[in-house]
Amino acid sequence: MKKILNITNGDSAVSIMQQAGIAGDFLPWRDVLHDGPVPEGLSLEELSEVRTQFIVDCGWGKLENIRSSFIERDDTLKSFESYDKVILWFEHDLYDQLQIIQILDWFEQNQPVNSTQLSIICVDQYLGMHSPEEMADLFQYEVAIKPEHLSLSSKAWAAFRSPNPANWLGLLSTDTSVLPFLEGAIIRQLEEYPSIKNGLTRTAEQALKVIAEGETKPGKVFAASQTLEDRMFMGDSSFWMIIQDLLESTPPLLKLPEGMDWERPPSPAHELTITSMGEAVLAGEKNWLELTEINRWIGGVHLTSNKLWCWDSVNSALVKK
């Protein structure tokens, strides 16, 4: 019997794959690469340390647990030549596409010297929403990983980690058809740069619109914002941090009832309402970047008030401010 390693986007997919009786070992790739620093010039292990600290700083886990999870993940990946076959199971959204290019870039740098086969199943369906029977049916979409997959992934991963976001934008002029969902992911990540018109990211603007239209409960705001996505990619933990930024700008764009403090995750008692300044920013009458100090990473780009890139959605261009 072949020894198989299945790499996929998270624990929920692993659970369904196990219920489906899919053979092999399972490696969930849990990192939210669309959030926080992913700087260039670091090995897999060094980058895992950076990502560990970011996740801990976000309050998403304890240092020892997060660090050991990354170490276990990286050690499993590095043992891939002990397997006859490695299968990547992923989706079409930004979260997954960034994971794909990270993993395939690593394989480009560490190509098998034995007979280990590499293949990928990447579909426009959410793996965590599949029944076990539907998951087993996805084998029909399996394709062998070719040199073109690896070279494109290395180019894309380098562009994502570059401090110059023009390299990421430049991928749109590249033939990315071998990874058919990558182009959409590139555009969606660009939309998380501050908008040239009001300083809001696409996610922040969607959240403000939902709240301005009358939804006040954070959980429902998140769910409604997700329906505005062509390819849902963001978990609620990332979303709550965006809401917190909107609450804490000076002046704030959102507010809670008087005397109530924001918590992550929010309690059922939380109610969000848009402020007059939030309405002005949403209308493009004010620019949020003039109200808040930005300090945020997108891949290898560190956005600050002194080093700022904005997204011009009308012209599909990045503008350096």
Q: Is the pTM higher than 0.85?
A: yes
Q: Which residue has the tokens 């040199």?
A: 147
Collapsing DSSP to helix, strand or coil, 152 comes out as: helix
pLDDT score for 244: 96
pLDDT score for 79: 96
pLDDT score for 203: 98
**Which of 79, 85, 87 lies closest to 110, judged by CA?**
79
Distance CA 239, CA 222 (A): 7
Complete edge-to-edge strand list for the sheet that includes strand 4-8: 25-28, 4-8, 85-91, 117-123, 143-144
The pair of three-digit structure tokens given for residue 64, joined into one six-digit string: 């020892």
All structural domains of the chain, each given as residue ranges with its CATH number in brackets, are: 4-162 (3.40.1360.10), 195-293 (1.10.10.10)
Q: What is the CA radius of gyration of the chain?
A: 20
pLDDT score for 288: 94
pLDDT score for 114: 76
pLDDT score for 207: 98
**CB within 8 A of 76, min separation 6: which ones?**
5, 25, 27
Are the beta carbons of 181 and 171 closer than 8 angstroms? no
**Which of 31, 54, 36, 51 lies closest to 302, judged by CA?**
36
pLDDT score for 173: 97
Type of residue at 34? H
Length of the chain: 321
Helix (H) or strand (E) holding 297, with range, is strand 295-299
Q: How many other C-beta atoms are found inside a 10 Å radius of the C-beta of residue 22?
A: 20
Are the beta carbons of 99 and 23 closer than 8 angstroms? no
**pLDDT tens, per residue, the chain with 321 residues:** 799 999 999 999 999 999 999 999 999 999 999 999 999 999 999 999 999 999 999 999 999 999 999 999 999 999 999 999 999 999 999 999 999 999 999 999 998 767 899 999 999 999 999 999 999 999 999 999 999 999 999 999 999 999 999 999 999 999 999 999 999 999 999 999 999 999 999 999 999 999 999 999 999 999 999 999 999 999 999 999 999 999 999 999 999 999 899 999 999 889 999 999 999 999 999 999 998 899 999 999 999 999 999 999 999 999 998
Q: What share of the chain is helix, strand, coil (3-state, %, to 5)?
A: 45, 15, 40
